[in-house]
Structure 1
């Protein structure tokens, strides 16, 4: 329940519930100052009808009804509050400040001063040592609040009572909390800090103590002492009657005292199980890491293979496109080859014709050369005959010339007309003219044959050039 104060941790409930019972002796709606309220400020929940001002040496953000104040120098007027309360504060401040703080509380209080704290007594020191031992089983560092107890030392009970009396108050010294039970219950709390699974059990133990054991947990030797200063003997008597010493039922007390030790085997099994679990978790994490690494490697390999596949697909598509282009080119080349073969066949046919023509021309050329050779031979013979005839003709021309000269001389001599040339001379002249005519005829035939030979050679050269050009193309 939201307002069920019995659900608080037992140590808090023990302090504030006891202080609330003590302050209930003040009639009406008292004004209360809590010195060293810290951040908890639980007193108002136990005394909802009271007017409470909280103070502490450190500021508390967003706190209402709060002042920052040093307990040894309270910035408040004398008798300005009906009651002043300080719970578990003196053991957390230096010894030199403790008694001045108590005097300040007595100065400000009009009716009652309530100071609760563990005192410097053997049974309290043993209880705190046992609690520290429970803590150190699970944590290496000291428990912070108990470490301050060791640093500053516990409170001297007689000196606090003496200051109350010196301030004109009647000092009443009351105890609350069996020391061994306190240590065991703190041990249960420390177990809950070490093993969160024990939180419900710890809460149930707190509720059991607060509801059943708190009212009777007032042994003579108590862990926490409450120093109460009042103005009248009647109030002192009422306080002693209200919180007279009493004891917790022995069987229940024994059970709670042994609770941390009883839980230890279970906790050891829990620790062992947790250790096994951590080892398994570590192994699982290692395997998971290996699996992640392997998956990452597979993923990277997959990406690489995918990239290679995509690259291969691109290459295949490029090759396919190239193949298509090559196929088209091959078809075009094949068509061109067919046409080329047809052209080549036609060319070969023409070549054969040309070769046949060449052979025929060469044959004719051979015949012509033979004829030319014959004609040249005949020409040479005729040339020789012609030369002989020309020589003969020249000789006869000279004779004719001489004869002509002689005939020219005859008239001069007065002789009669020349006699007719001799028949033999005429015959020789005719013969010479015939030879010359024949020479001219042979010369013309030789020239025509030479032209035909040159034309045949030019034709053969032209055919050879055509063949060469055809082979090159």
Structure 2
């Protein structure tokens, strides 16, 4: 994208808030440093605040943040962009969901759906709602204030994204293997990209900013050349595949519950057998006690004592009479 970056053998990239992400997988030959809030002891990881980063000016060639901006309170987003711009020398990439009426309504519906499944709101969706999604005009104003050229590319056509998120939330709330989540993400990234319209009706927007002018045709490679007929056909195939994946996930969840109940039944049977064994042992001990010489003596003494007390009580009553 920039000749002065292309001449470098490797780039220094800062992934802001990217712990657990896949930036390193996309840039295996570059030096990727992750900044996040967790206490993690790993190479190329720094614990720190994105609003006050512990790095010198222009410490990195590129700074990226994926789905971070919306988790920063609205009044601090300007400061976030200032810090991200400060530590990056050549390029700044900010990807996040941006406000539209449709996006806000969709997130509310997804959060409500997840709450019905689990009994509590989704952590990140609830934070989106509490903080409010970023507004494009605000971000563009902040970038301009920092003397940056920028270009924006839309991503995640909102209807495709909504359907996949319903599937993701169901799978995440179910007691099934995490492989289904990975399959959903992989399928979306592999196949649904061909259905993207990259227009205003998108959930995410990617801002590419630089202190130098950017290529004018930067968004051409994202243009979709599929006809409407092809898109409808691909969507039908896609949603059939997603439905099949969901059926597999539900089947695994049911099998998991059946296995759990079977284990509980086996455990109760074992406990029942153990109780029967203890009762049998006690009956045997009682039988041995009844047959012992000491117990026969005790029974004799008890009968003798009962007879003696009976005679004394009879004499006492006769005397009083």
Establish whether TM, by shorter chain, passes 0.5: yes
Stretches of structure 1 lacking an aligned partner (at least 5 in a row): 1-21, 320-473
CA distance in structure 1 between the partners assigned to 2:216 and 2:54 by the alignment = 32
State the partner residue of 1:45.
25
Give the equivalent residue in structure 2 for 1:244: 223
Matches of 1:126 and 1:254 in 2, distance apart?
Answer: 24
Gapped runs of 5+ residues in structure 2?
298-321
TM-superposed CA distance for 1:102, in Å, is: 0.7
Change (3 A) 1:282 1:25: same
Deviation at 1:132, TM superposition (A): 2.2
Is residue 70 of structure 1 aligned with residue 49 of structure 2? yes
Structure with the higher fraction of residues in helix conformation? 1
Question: Deviation at 1:225?
Answer: 0.5
Structure 1 residues 232 and 304: alpha-carbon distance in aligned structure 2, compared to 1, 3 A threshold? closer
Give the 3 Å change call, closer, same or farther, for CA 132–262 of structure 1 in structure 2: farther
**More strand by percentage:** 2
Aligned residues: 290
What TM-score do the two structures reach when normalised by structure 1? 0.52
Q: 1 CA distance for matches of 2:61 and 2:155?
A: 24
| TM-score between the two structures when normalised by the length of structure 2 | 0.74
Q: Deviations over 1:188-212 (max 9, x none)?
A: 1222223344755544333322223
SS of corresponding position for 1:73: coil
**In the superposition, relative to structure 1, how do residues 44 and 312 fare at CA in structure 2: closer, same or farther (>3 Å)?**
same
Of 16, 21, 32, the residue aligned with 1:35 is 16
Change in 2 beyond 3 A, CA 1:257/1:127 = farther
| Among 125, 136, 142, the residue aligned to 1:163 | 142
What is the rounded CA distance, in whole Å, between the counterparts of 1:311 and 1:209 in structure 2? Answer: 75
Shift of 1:85: 0.9
Structure whose CA Rg is larger? 1
Quick one: distance in 2 between partners of 1:146 and 1:107? Answer: 29
Name the structure, 1 or 2, with higher relative contact order (CA <8 Å, separation 6+): 2
Q: Is the 8 A contact 1:34 1:84 kept in 2?
A: yes
Q: Distance in 1 between matches of 2:225 and 2:285?
A: 86
- How far, CA to CA, are the matches of 1:214 and 1:25 in structure 2? 30
Contact 2:66 2:95 in 1 (8 A): yes
Report how far residue 89 of structure 1 moved: 0.9
Query: Counterpart of 2:185 in 1: which secondary structure?
Result: helix
